A and B are shown apart, each in its own frame.
Chain A
Amino acid sequence: MEALALPAALGLVAGGGAGLSPEHRAALGASLPLVQRDYRFERVWFWGCIQGVRGAYYIAEGLGPDRAAPRSRLYSLNCLDWSLLTPATKEVLALAEQVKGRFQGDPSFEYNLAEINAEAAERLVQSGKEPVMKEEARLIATIEEIDRAVGIIPRGAFVKTPLGSVHENRHFEGLSLAEAKKLSSYFHFTEPVNLKNKTLLEKADLDPSTDFLDSLEHDIPQGSWSIQLEKGGTVVLLRSLLWLGLTFYHVPMTKQFGYIYFGNGEKNLDLPFML
C-alpha cells in the first residue's frame, strides 16, 4: 500500500489481527520518505512483513514512472535501515519453490541445497560454489511469487497509455458497492497471462486503457479469494487463501485501496482440501 496512506490503511486491514507496533509505524513514517529520496522512486509502497522464526522481514517496494515495470524491492529488519534486493531470476524462483518450512529471520541463513534439490546442488558444486541457498534469495523469490500470484488492484485504478506505460488513473473515483463485491472488478497487477486467451467477443467489450490485466475471476482454484464487507460495506476486504496473510482493502466510492502481506511467507498448498 502507499506509504503515505499507511496510517489510515493499517486501521482498515487490522481485521486480520496482524499489524505494526507503534514503534514500527513511527519508524516507517520516518524511513520510507528517505528511501524515496535516496533511490529516487516516484512511489514507495509498504509491501508487508514476513514473519520468520527468530525475526521478521519488513519489505518495501519502489515504483518508477512506469508503474507496471519490475519494481525494486527493499527489506529491513527494523523498519529503519533498508537494503535493496536484487531482482529475481528464474533459477532462483524455481529453487525457492522447493524450499519448505518457515523463514528463519536471519538473511544470511543457508539452506542446504543437497536436501532440497540434488541436481542444483551438484551444478553449483561443479561451478565452484557451495551448494547452499541463502535466505535472502528465498526472500526475493517469495516476494516475487506473492506479487505475481496475488498482488491486486481494482479495475480502473491504473491506466495504460498508448505508448505502453502504465500510470495511476486520476479519474478513478472508486468502485461502487455492487462492483466491489465482484471478483471481476479486481486485476492482478503483473504481466497478464489469460488476456490473449479471451475470445474476440469478450475482447470487444474490453476497454484497452483499463482492461489490460487479468481479472481474478478465473483464478485457480475457484474460491481462493475471500471477499468480506466490513462495517456494513464501508470497507471491502479481499483475503487470499493461497498465500494466507495477504489482505487487500478498498473503500468503495473513494480512491483508497492497497494490499499488504502479513504472514509466514509460505504458500498454502493445502487449499484444495480446505475449501
Chain B
Amino acid sequence: EGGHGPYQPHEPGYGLDQPGYSPYEDEIPDPQARMLAIKNAKAYLLKTSTKSGLNLYDHFANILTKILDEQPTNTVDIIENISKDVKWAQFRKKMDTLRDEPLISPTFEAAEKCKALFIKEGGEEDREDVEEEMGQPALPNVMETAFYFEQAGIGLSKDESYYIFLAFKNLIKTQPIQTCRFWGKILGLEMNYIIAEVQLREGEEQEETGEEGDETIVEGQKEMGEAEEEDEQKEKEPEPPKSTYKPPPEIPKEANGTGTNKYVYFVCNEPGKPWMKLPPVTPAQIVCARQIKKFFTGRLDAPVVSFPPFPGNEANYLRAQIARISAGTHVSPTGFYQFPEDEEEEEGADTYEENPEFEPPPVAEMVESLATWAHHVKGILKQGRCVWINPAQKSEENEDEDEEEEEEEEDEQQEERGPPLLTLISEDEGMKNIPAWTAQASTDLIPEYSVAILQSNRWPGAYAFASGRKFENIYFGWGHKYSPEYHTPALPPPAEAEFPSGPGITEAVDPTVEEEMAFKAAQEEALAEDEEEEDEEGEDD
C-alpha cells in the first residue's frame, strides 16, 4: 500500500497510509472474506503446472525445508540456485541399480548365533526315547560346576557358562556321545577355545583317514631311498657312500580309548559356533610339545612354527597340550575311584571304577593334607605314551623300511615305568621351593559350607574342587606349563658326519717325488724277480 510514496505533510492524504488512519478504517474487515482470500491464494499456489507437474506451494515448502536444514551462509544470494537444485532433485532416481547391502554388524551376527542356541528342537517324544536308551544323562551340569568354582573366584561369567551349557546340549544331539564333561577354556591370541572331553559310544568311533605319514622326514630317509634306487640299477660307477643314519623308529600312538587317547576332545571357538573334533595325539607330538612353548592363535589349522619342528598344526598342538594337562592335573578325592577287584592289579592298569563305599573326608581335611587327593589319569612317560612300548619290536614287522637287520646297532631303550594310576598327589614333586599343588578352602568365614579348592602350580590355570561327593577338574588358562627357569629352545643337533671313514675317502698326504720313485723302483724289482722265477719254472718244465 502507499504505492505513491510517503506523503509530505502539506499534501492531502498525508497520514492515510499509516495503519489505523486509512479511509476504510471504520469498516470492520469481514473475517470470512479474509479466510476466503487466503484459501484462494493457497489454491492458486497449489495449482499444478501443466508442464512439469510441480506446484509452487510444494516447491516453496521444499526450498524452505532445505534451507532450514542446511542453513547455508548468504542464503539470499544463492536462493535461485537452491531453487534449481530442489527442482533437479525431483527427477533424480532414488534407486541405484546396485542395491546397498545392509551392513551386518558382527554384534548382531553373534547375537543371532547365541539366540539359535536357545531354540528347543524336537518334540517331547524324542526326548523320552533318548532318555530310555541311556541310563545316565550325558549332559554335564555345567552350571552346578560353575557355581562351585565361583566360590573360589574361578570361572566364566554366568552368561557365558549358560551359553556353554546350551552348546553342550547341541553337541550331544549331533554326536553319539556316552559321557561328556566341560574340560575348560584355553585362551588364544585371536580367539579362544572351549573344550569338551567326551567319550563316544562304543562302536561309533570313525576310522581315522590314514594320514599318519612320517612328519619327521629326515634327510637320512631320503638318502636311503635314493640309495635303494641306485642299487637296483647296475653299478657302473662307484656310488657315493651311503648314509648310515636311520631315523628313530616311529613310536605308534595309543589306541583310541586307552592311555593318552582315552577321551575324544571337541573344541569350539565360541558357544554357538560348530564343534570340531580334535585328532588323536601321537607320542611324537607330545614329546615335541614338551620342548616348545607357543601361544595358540585360535585357528585350528594354523601352523606351529617352532624348533624342533612340531609334527602337526595347531589342532595337534592343542590336543597334545590337553593330553599333558589332563595327565598332570586331573585329580579326584582319594578313594573315589578304585581298581576293579576282579582284575589283577598290574602296573599298566588303565581302568578304574567308582567306589560305592567312598566316604568323603571333611573339607578341612581335604585342604590340610594333599594325601586326600589322587590322580585318576595316567601320567605320560618320556616316550610320549602312557604305556611303554619297545620300539625295537616294531621294526621287525616293517621289513620294507629296513634292508638289513640293524637291531644290534640300536640302543637298548630302557623300559620306562611311570607312577601307577591312582597315586596320591602328595607324591608330586615341587619345583625348587614351590609345592606342586596349593590347597585352600573357599571361605574361612563360613567353614560349614566351604569347598576345598586345589590349584596346580605346575600348570597354572588348572583347578579342582571337592565338596562332599562332588568334585570336578577344570582348566582356564593359556595352555602352558610353569617353569621356574626361562624357556630355552632346543639347540639344533650337531652337524651329521657326512661319510663313514674309509680308505677311499680318508685324506692322506700325497707321496713326495722321492717316495714315488722309490716305490716305482721297488715295484720294478719285484717284477724282475717274478719274471726270473717264472723263467726258472719254465725251464724246469
Contacts and interface: CB of A to CB of B under 8 A. Distances in A.
A54 B432 CA distance: 15
Nearest to A21: B153
Contact of B153 (A12, A18, A229, A239): A18
Interface in A1-48: 11-12, 14-24
A17 B459 CA distance: 14
Contact of A19 (B107, B155, B443, B487): B155
A100 B484 CA distance: 7
A275 B189 CA distance: 9
B442 A14 contact: no
Contacts, number: 108
Given A11-B159, A241-B189, 15 more contacts: A12-B157, A15-B160, A21-B152, A23-B445, A53-B457, A54-B438, A102-B457, A231-B111, A232-B110, A241-B295, A264-B482, A270-B486, A273-B293, A274-B480, A275-B294
A169 interface: no
Nearest to B109: A232
B163 to A, nearest CB: 9
A13 to B, nearest CB: 9
B20 to A, nearest CB: 55
A226 interface: yes
Interface of B: 105-111, 113-114, 150-160, 184-185, 187-192, 293-295, 432-435, 438, 442-443, 445, 455, 457, 460-461, 476-478, 480, 482, 484, 486-487, 489
A147 B432 CA distance: 29
A232 B116 CA distance: 14
A232 B163 CA distance: 14
A134 B111 CA distance: 50
Nearest to B445: A23
27 contacts: A11-B159, A14-B155, A14-B160, A15-B156, A16-B476, A18-B476, A19-B154, A21-B150, A21-B151, A22-B151, A23-B151, A51-B455, A100-B484, A101-B432, A223-B189, A226-B189, A232-B106, A232-B107, A232-B110, A232-B111, A233-B106, A233-B107, A270-B293, A270-B486, A273-B489, A274-B294, A274-B487
A16 B155 CA distance: 8
Contacts of A223: 189
B187 A16 contact: yes
Contacts of B482: 264
Interface string A223-237: 100101101111000
Nearest to B187: A16
Nearest to A25: B153
A270 B485 CA distance: 10
A17 B185 contact: yes
B107 A231 contact: yes
A264 to B, nearest CB: 6
A271 B26 CA distance: 99
Contacts of B457: 53, 102
Contact of A233 (B105, B153, B433, B487): B105
A121 interface: no
Contacts of B489: 273
B150 A22 contact: yes
A102 B434 CA distance: 8
Contacts of B187: 15-16, 226, 239
Contacts of B295: 241, 274-275
B52 to A, nearest CB: 44
Contacts of B188: 226
A51 B455 CA distance: 11
Main secondary structure on B side of the interface with A: loop
A275 B295 CA distance: 6
A244 interface: yes
Contacts of B435: 53
A241 B478 CA distance: 10
A201 interface: no
A193 interface: no
B189 to A, nearest CB: 5
A11 B434 CA distance: 31
Nearest to B483: A270
B487 A270 contact: yes
A270 B295 CA distance: 11
A269 interface: yes
Contacts of A234: 107, 110
Contact of B476 (A17, A21, A102, A264): A17
B312 to A, nearest CB: 17
Contacts of B192: 15, 228
A269 B486 contact: yes
Contacts of A231: 107, 110-111, 114
Contacts of B478: 244
Nearest to A10: B157
Contacts of B153: 18-21, 24
A21 B155 CA distance: 10
Contact of A14 (B108, B109, B157, B477): B157
B190 A226 contact: yes
B289 to A, nearest CB: 13
Name the residue among A11, A19, A22 with the largest chain B CB count within 10 angstroms. A19
A11 B157 contact: yes
A268 B109 CA distance: 35
A219 to B, nearest CB: 15
Nearest to B105: A233
Contacts of A16: 187, 476
A222 to B, nearest CB: 12
A53 B151 contact: no
Contacts of B154: 17-19
Nearest to B161: A14
A274 B295 CA distance: 5
Interface in A255-275: 264, 269-270, 273-275
B325 to A, nearest CB: 13
B310 to A, nearest CB: 13
A231 B113 CA distance: 10
Given A17-B476, A53-B435, A229 B106 contact: yes
A100 B431 CA distance: 13
A100 B150 CA distance: 30
B155 A17 contact: yes
A264 B478 CA distance: 13
A70 to B, nearest CB: 29
A269 B461 CA distance: 19
Contact of A264 (B106, B109, B157, B460): B460
Q: Which 10 A-B pairs have the closest CB atoms?
A: A17-B476, A232-B110, A21-B153, A14-B157, A270-B487, A233-B107, A11-B157, A232-B107, A226-B189, A232-B106
Nearest to B153: A21
Contacts of A21: 150-153, 442-443
A221 B225 CA distance: 44
A83 B477 CA distance: 30
A275 B432 CA distance: 27
Given A11-B159, A24-B153, A226-B189, A233 B110 contact: yes
B179 to A, nearest CB: 23
Contacts of B455: 51
B181 to A, nearest CB: 16
B495 to A, nearest CB: 23
A53 B434 contact: yes
Contacts of A19: 150, 153-155
B294 A23 contact: no
